[in-house]
Amino acid sequence: MYIKIFRTALILTIISLASASFLSVRQAEADSSIILNDEAHVGEQVILSVETSQIPSGGSVEWSVSPTTGKTPDRISLRAGGLECAFMPLDTEPIKVVASFIDRSGNIVSSSETLIDPKEFQINVAVVVDKPLTLWDSEKRSNNVLSPESLLANSPIKISATLSPAFDGKPVFKWTADAATAILEDNGNEITIKRGSIGESELSVVAFNSSGIKLGSGSGVVNINVPVSTFEESSNEREAWNNWQKAQELWSGKNYSEAVDLAAKAVSLAPRDTEIVDGLRAMNINYSKFSKAQKLRDDAEKLDEEGKFDDALRNLRAAWVVWPLDDDDEKIKAEENKVDELRVLQQKANWLRDTASAYDNESMYEEALEYYEKSMAVLSSDAIADRIEKIKNRLELIEDADRYANEGNTLEREGKLQEAHDHYVASVMSNPDPTLRQHIEELQSVISRRERQSNALYREGQELQRRNKLQEALTRFHESVKLWDNENARQRIQNLSRNRGLAPDEYLRGPEDFGIGTKADAQKIIKSADELLADGKAEQALELYRKALKISPNPDLQKWAARLFEVLKENNAVEAANKQIKEANALYKAGKIKEAIELYNQSLKTHKNAEIEEFLKKQEQVKN
C-alpha cells in the first residue's frame, strides 16, 4: 500500500491491497435469488438473504458456504428461520455461497449460487494539527503563518487513523516506523511521532478486529520539512524583539538597570539583529553615564552623613554634569548651605583646638582636655576625639603613676627598698619619667650594694664564729640583716642568741656607715644633723652631713658642709687662740713679759686678733 498525502486536507489515505474494481458479489446464475445486504469486508460479518417467493410452499432453505481457495469463514450462522445466512470472512479469497430451496418432502426444488469477494477496509490517516506553524519575520517584525503541510522536526506530530467504510466494532491498530522516527505515544487509532531532523518518516499501520483478524494494512511517508534550528531561531528572534520592546518601555520609565538587563537578553537571543544590537550599545553608553552619576550621588549622600559637605557638594555637581536630574539644583543648594555653616563652625572649633594644642604641648593635659572637648562640642572631629581619648588614657596613667610613685616613696622611707623599686617601675611603665627612671637605677645600685655588703658581713660573721668570737660574730650577723634581709644571717642570730645577746650600748653599723643608702636615707640623716646643729652640736651634725653626702652627693649640701666645717674650724681656732691669750695674760700679770709676748705671738698664728696685734705693736715701741 502507499500513503498518499493530500496537502489541502492533511489526509493520509491508505489504499487497500484488494483491487477496487472487482464486484462484491459474482452471481453464478443470472436469475440468482441470493441477496447481499452490504459490501463484504474481511473481519466483519456478512449477511445474505433470499427472496421468500423462491421458497416452495411449506418448504425451507438450505445454505452452503465454502471457500474457493482461502480459509473457511468464521462464525457461520442462520437467521430469520433460515432465510438469512451470516458469516465473517477471514481473508480476501472468494467464498462460494449456495442456497438450496427444499419442498415439504425434502426434495431440492431449485438452488441459487453466488460468489462473495471480501475486501480489506481502506485506512484513512490524518495529520492532526492543533495550530499551524508560525515563523518570525525579522524585517516585518511580525509572525508569518506557514502552509498547512509544514511539519516541524524534533517536535511531536499527532497522527490519527480511521477505517473506510466505518467498521462495526472497535478496531485495533498496530503502528511501525522507520529507525529515524520515534513513536512517542500510541493510543491505538492515534499516535504521536517525532523525527530529529527534516526528512521523510515512513509509517506502517495494520488494523485488526477484536478477534485478531486483519482488517487492512498500509504504509506511506510523512514529509517533515521544517528544521528545529529554523524554528528555534525564529522563536528566539520573536522573543528578542518582544524583550527589546519591553526594555525600551522600562528605559522610558527610568528603570535603567532592568532595561539594560532585558536588552542584553534580547541581544543574546538575536545577536544578528542590528537594530537591537545598536540599541543595546547606545543604552549601555547612557547607562554607564547614569551609573557613574548615581555612584557620585550615593557617595555624596555618604559624605554628607559623615559631615564632609565640601566633598559631597563636589560629587553632586559632577553628577549633574554627567547625568542631570530634576532635583539636582535643590540638592546642590542645600549642600552649599551646609558648607557655609560648616566653615563658620570649623573656624570656631579650630580656635578652641589651637588653644587645646598649646596646653597639650606644655603637658598641661587637664586644661588641654577641657578645650579639646569644647572644640568637639562645636564640631565633631575624629582626630580630636582620638586625641581626647589618648589624653584621658594618659591622665589615668599619670594618676596611676603618681599613686605608684607616692607608694614607692613611702616604702623607701620605711626602708623597704625592693618594694619601693617595684612601685617605681610600675610608675614609669604608666608614665615615663626620666627623673624617676634615673632614681630607679640609683635605687637598684643601692640594693645591689646593700646585698653585697650584707653578704660580706655575713661571711665575716661566719669567720668570727669559726674562730669562736661569738659576740663579734653575732654583731656582724645583726649588721648583715640591718643592711639587707638575709635569711642565713637570721638563722645564725637565732642560734647564737640562745646564750647571748647584743650589749645594751653596742652600736650596730647601718647602711650609712658603709656609704650605702638612698636619697630618702640621706634625707633622714640630714634631718638628724639639722636637729643636732639646732642643739649646738655642730661637730656631730657635720659628721652626719658627711655621711649623707657619701650616700647621696648633693652640691648644695656639699657647700653647706664645707661652710660648717670652716665655721667649726674658725671657732676652734678662736677658742685655741683665746686659751693662749688667757695664759699669756696670766704670764704678763706675773711679770713674765718675755714669755707672755711669745705666747701672744703664738695666739696670732692660731687666729688673727687685731687687739693683740695692736698691743704687741705698742710693746715693741716701748721697748725701742
pLDDT at 504: 66
In a domain, 595, yes or no: yes
Give the residue among 102, 105, 60 at the shortest CA–CA distance from 81. Answer: 60
Same domain, 154 and 8: yes
Same domain, 213 and 250: no
Total domains in the fold of the chain = 5
- Spatial neighbors of 215 by CB under 8 A, at least 6 apart, are 41, 42, 43, 44, 120, 121, 163, 167, 171, 207, 208, 209
17 touches 1 (CB < 8 A): yes
Give the amino acid at 406: N
Q: How many other C-beta atoms lie within 10 A of the C-beta of residue 30?
A: 5
In a domain, 308, yes or no: no
In a domain, 337, yes or no: no
Same domain, 129 and 173: yes
Provide the grid cell at 594. 718675755
pLDDT at 182: 93
In a domain, 393, yes or no: no
Same domain, 203 and 270: no
Same domain, 160 and 290: no
103 touches 56 (CB < 8 A): yes
Same domain, 25 and 83: yes
217 touches 249 (CB < 8 A): no
Same domain, 133 and 221: yes
- Residue at a domain's end among 91, 119, 147: 119
Please tell me the distance from the alpha carbon of residue 430 to that of residue 78, in angstroms, as a whole number: 131
- Residue at a domain's end among 455, 489, 514: 514
pLDDT at 532: 85
pLDDT at 31: 44
- Residue at a domain's end among 96, 119, 142: 119
Please tell me the distance from the alpha carbon of residue 359 to that of residue 274, in angstroms, as a whole number: 73
- Spatial neighbors of 101 by CB under 8 A, at least 6 apart, are 50, 54, 55, 56, 59, 60, 61, 108, 109, 110, 111, 112
Angle at 562 between CA 560 and CA 565, to 5 degrees: 110
pLDDT at 181: 92
Q: Return the H-helix or E-strand segment holding 544.
A: helix 538-551
Q: Return the H-helix or E-strand segment holding 329.
A: helix 328-361
Same domain, 140 and 8: yes
76 touches 97 (CB < 8 A): no
The residues facing 144 across adjacent strands are 135
In a domain, 300, yes or no: no
Angle at 401 between CA 393 and CA 358, to 5 degrees: 50
Spans in the chain with pLDDT lower than 50: 1-31
In a domain, 396, yes or no: no
In a domain, 530, yes or no: no
Same domain, 147 and 8: yes
Same domain, 454 and 506: yes
Same domain, 579 and 484: no
CATH assignment at residue 149: 2.60.40.10
pLDDT at 255: 92
45 touches 75 (CB < 8 A): yes
Please tell me the distance from the alpha carbon of residue 188 to that of residue 178, in angstroms, as a whole number: 18
Three-state SS sequence of 381-440: CHHHHHHHHHHHHHHHHHHHHHHHHHHHHHHHHCCCHHHHHHHHHHHHHHCCCHHHHHHH
In a domain, 470, yes or no: yes
Give the amino acid at 34: I
Q: How many other C-beta atoms lie within 10 A of the C-beta of residue 88?
A: 20
Chain centre distance of CA 527: 71
Same domain, 159 and 22: no
Structural domain for 144, as ranges = 4-12+123-226
